[in-house]
Amino acid sequence: MTARALPIVLAAAAGTLVAATATAQSATPRAALVHQATLFKQAKWRAMYATYTPRFRRNCPYRRFVAGQRAARRALGTGFRLRGIRTRLETRTRAVVAYRFVVNARTVVRVRLRDRDVYVKSGGRWLDEHDRVSSC
């Protein structure tokens, strides 16, 4: 392998790794939710916005999404933990997720199955859908 070819091969390998990681992080509705929480804690809004469906993004412009996430982050902080994650598959490509945000051993937000936090599978990945729980 030539010295000029090495950066190209490394870039291609890195791109494959990033794509594989993104798919693994959204291989299940639970994994998608945990990945979103990680991005939220890190304030990686662009990457987090990409975890939502095109329908959500049509209904929630990026600027409004970021403003809502920043406000939620100020209120919730970054020291929360997700607990009690449950998933109910409604179809092969649609699921409802329940969970709790816990801060200092106290539940501060509870999302139940009946609250209908919907995730849909698109292109092999689970994405957060526009629903009642959406922050936009």
CATH number for the domain spanning 122: value is 3.10.450.100
Q: Is residue 50 part of a domain?
A: yes
Establish if 31 belongs to a structural domain: yes
Residue 80's pLDDT band, with cuts at 50, 70 and 90, is very high
Phi/psi region, residue 123 (left: phi>0; alpha: psi -120 to 50; beta: rest), is left
Alpha-carbon distance of 78 to 25, in angstroms, equals 20
Residue 89, domain member (yes or no) = yes
What pLDDT is recorded for position 51? 97
**Domain region containing 47:** 26-128
In a domain, 14, yes or no: no
Average pLDDT over residues 18-32: 69
The model's pTM:
0.80
Count: domains in the chain: 1
